[in-house]
Chain A
Amino acid sequence: MIPGPFDYHAPGTLPEALALLSKYGEDAKVLSGGQSLLPLLKLRLGQVGHLVDIGRIPGLEYVREDGGFLKIGGRTRESALEASEAVRARYPILLDTARVIADPVVRNMATVGGNLAHGDPGNDHPATMLALGAQVVAIGPKGERVIPIEKFFLGLFRTALRPDEVLTEIRVPAPPARSGGAYVKLERKVGDYATAGVAVQVTLDGKGAFERVGIGLTNLGPTPIKASEAEKSLVGKRPDAAAMAEASRLVAKASSPTADRRGAVDYKREMARVLTGRALKSAVERAGGR
């Protein structure tokens, strides 16, 4: 319940934050919402010498549509994402996702950037961002770099973010017409991590066939998973039962869940399949297809 001792810094600007991260290296961690990091520290799982709180740095919380992207500041609270007009109107998959992260009170502190940067395959945004083909913007001592989301998740609790970088923005490409997405999470109760979670973002062509498909998976492997084979299987096909069933089967194949109290491996794999069907159906409906 009580964390071990650490030092705390609250830089007022990004350069100050970066300087601290460079100084302390692996012994420092960024504190964003703190809703993943602080629980770990309270259980004394993971020691850290220095917390660099980016909570005082202005200009990191925003949701805006700009230049063909939905741009989300790294420190944007999940509750703000939920409340955003743009998200509610044009990115229902993000609303689906935000709404099932932890619980409503935690969402007032938890941040979108933190949800990605923690590198936990159990977090919900990674799957959605994979399905959306988003980009992560990281700022370090050498400046800004844009990391495609498919290259972001490297391993369990490991991302492409360097210890001296801060995740400042997430960019979601604005979907073209005839697009729709959905995130379906199976959880034992509100506040739980996913037994399985599937994010689907699709664009249909003029004839109603799949033009682009993105499928991301939550808690079905050591990292968030992009179900590429399943995605490819749908491109060019119409959203009929056979195609969706095949894609769902391929999603199950792409999953390598571990057994825990949420379920055995075969159950979770099957849930990946079942949830894919449901997410696909909903995404297609939202895309105006049948």
Chain B
Amino acid sequence: MAMHDIRVTVNGTPHDAQVESRLLLVHLLRDQLRLTGTHIGCDTTHCGACTVLLDGQPVKSCTVLAVQADGRQVATVEGLEKDGKLHPIQEGFWEKHGLQCGYCTPGMMMTSCALLAKNKNPSEAEIREAISGNLCRCTGYVNIVKAVQFAAERLR
């Protein structure tokens, strides 16, 4: 089967890779680029632990082929902190205890970032809807909502 030469820009840095057609984007990020902040939690596109931004939109990277990301921009959790300064969403999750085991957290934060880029003052209902594609087993979502509200306030 053919291999493909692709260039994917991740968190602003272009990466060249030679990949099988079937390589999932999440495996490119984790196994080849060693950006292990994006996690895998299921095999049926439900859990959202693998959520990254593809050209600014949250997508489940387990259900995107690496080749589909050729020439495009991917943003992962590793790119949130800039020059040693945490992104407000990271601050929010920390301040408000929006994480416990931390496994769903990168995906949650990426989805939340995209929400806040579109909606500067989301209501609780809007936040819950926006993160309804991201499963958490630890927090019961209450503090995740608070974390996003905290970040929204910081960003305004």
Question: Are A and B close enough to touch in the complex, i.e. CB under 8 Å?
Answer: yes
Which residues of B sit under 8 angstroms from A3, Cβ to Cβ?
22, 24
Stretch at the interface among A36-44, A89-97, A112-120, A206-214: A36-44
Is the CB of B130 closer than 8 A to any CB of chain A? yes
B1 x A105 contact (CB < 8 A): no
- Return B50 CB to nearest CB of chain A, in Å: 10
B: number of interface residues (CB 8 Å):
32
For window 16-33 of B, CB contacts with A under 8 Å fall at 20-22, 24
> Does B1 lie within 8 Å of A5, measured CB to CB?
yes
Contact A5 B45 (CB under 8 A): no
Known contacts A2-B22, A5-B21, A42-B43, A191 near B132 by CB under 8 Å? yes
**Of the residues B22, B24, B43, B129, contact of A6 by C-beta under 8 Å:** B22
For A173, list chain B residues within 8 Å (CB): none
Question: Could you say which of B7-15, B59-67, B76-84, B91-99 contacts chain A?
Answer: B59-67
Tell me the bound Cα distance from A191 to B134 in angstroms.
10
Beyond A35-B45, A191-B133, whether A7 also contacts B67 by CB under 8 A is no
Say whether, besides A5-B20, A5-B21, A103-B132, A38 and B63 are in contact (CB < 8 Å).
Answer: yes
| Chain A residue contacts of B134, Cβ below 8 A | 105
Are B51 and A105 within 8 A (Cβ)?
yes
Which residues of B lie under 8 Å from residue A109 when comparing CB positions?
Answer: 54, 59-60, 63-64
Chain A residues with CB under 8 A of B43: 1, 42-43
Residue B58 is within 8 A (CB to CB) of chain A in the complex: yes
Interface size on A, residues (CB 8 A): 30
B36: interface (CB < 8 Å): no
Closest to B46 in A: A191
A38 touching B132, Cβ below 8 Å: no
Q: Which residues of B contact A195 (CB under 8 A)?
A: none
Interface presence of A267 (CB below 8 A): no
Question: Nearest chain A CB to B100's CB is how many angstroms away?
Answer: 21
What is the CA–CA distance of A3 and B21 in the complex, to the nearest angstrom? 10
Q: Does A176 contact B (CB under 8 A)?
A: no
Is B22 a contact partner of A106 (Cβ separation < 8 A)?
no
Beyond A5-B22, A191-B46, is A10–B67 a contact (Cβ under 8 Å)?
A: yes
Enumerate the 10 nearest inter-chain pairs by beta-carbon distance, A residue then B residue, closest first.
A103-B133, A8-B21, A105-B133, A1-B43, A108-B57, A190-B132, A3-B22, A5-B1, A105-B58, A38-B63
Besides the contacts A108-B57, A190-B133, what 14 more A-B pairs have beta carbons closer than 8 Å?
A2-B24, A6-B21, A10-B70, A35-B63, A39-B44, A41-B22, A55-B68, A102-B133, A103-B132, A104-B132, A105-B60, A109-B63, A191-B132, A191-B133
What is A's interface to B at a CB cutoff of 8 Å?
A: 1-8, 10, 31, 34-35, 38-39, 41-43, 51, 53, 55, 79, 102-106, 108-109, 190-191
